[in-house]
Amino acid sequence: MQKAHLYWSHGMDAAPWGAKSKAMAAAAQEAGLTLDALDYRDTTDPDERTARLVKHIGQKQSPVILAGSSMGGYVSAAAAGEIRVAGLFLIAPALYLPGYEKHMFFNLPEQIEIVHGWNDDVVPVDNSVRFAKLHKATLHILPADHRMTGMAGQVASLFTQFLQGILA
């Protein structure tokens, strides 16, 4: 596969370069990729963030890989329905929540992996189970909270495996 473009979308109250994204950026660098982390802190509207991501990506010719956490997971999944994407890596994605425009997702890539925590008190883990079942996605459920506290290394390891599968 030719060199891919990798985009990270952070959660609603997060910053583009938190612990998870830094760990994932290191994993991406090992795979020969650069993680492009957009800054959405000026808006809490998930669908405005989606439109911004789609516009930012534009007409990239090489494969696009999207990754996101919480609201950023929703943003990545929603954007994947509008542009051609080689893979999706979603962490505790904010799917099927009130106030989010999309509840049905189409034209998603075959390569989808989700990481969610059993102890998530923000987005029910059942939402990721539902999405994974509908889209035949790989689902990793960890003994973690919504922020994946203390799990950055494990999430980065799963991300590395995901990237190896896409780039092979």
* Residue 19 phi, psi dihedral angles, 5° rounding: -60, -45
pLDDT, one tens digit per residue, over 56-88 is 998 777 789 999 999 999 999 999 999 999 999
| The predicted structure's pLDDT at residue 1 | 46
Q: At what angle do helices 152-167 and 19-30 cross, to 10 degrees?
A: 30
The answer, yes or no, to whether residue 90 has pLDDT greater than 90, is yes
Dihedral sign (CA 74, 162, 22, 126): positive
The tokens 């802190």 sit on which residue?
41
Please, which pLDDT band fits residue 133 given cuts at 50, 70 and 90? very high
CA end-to-end span of the chain, whole Å? 7
* Residue 5 phi, psi dihedral angles, 5° rounding: -105, 130
The answer, yes or no, to whether residue 164 has pLDDT greater than 70, is yes
| The predicted structure's pLDDT at residue 123 | 98
- The pTM assigned to this predicted structure is 0.95
Enumerate domains of the chain plus CATH numbers.
5-167 (3.40.50.1820)
Name the residue among 88, 69, 53 with its Cα closest to residue 14: 69
Task: Share the mean pLDDT of the chain.
Answer: 93
The answer, yes or no, to whether residue 2 has pLDDT greater than 60, is no
* Cα distance between residue 85 and residue 104, in whole Å: 17
Mean pLDDT, rounded, for 21-35: 86
Under 8 Å between Cβ of 36 and 64: no
Is 37 strand, coil or helix?
A: strand
The answer, yes or no, to whether residue 98 has pLDDT greater than 90, is yes
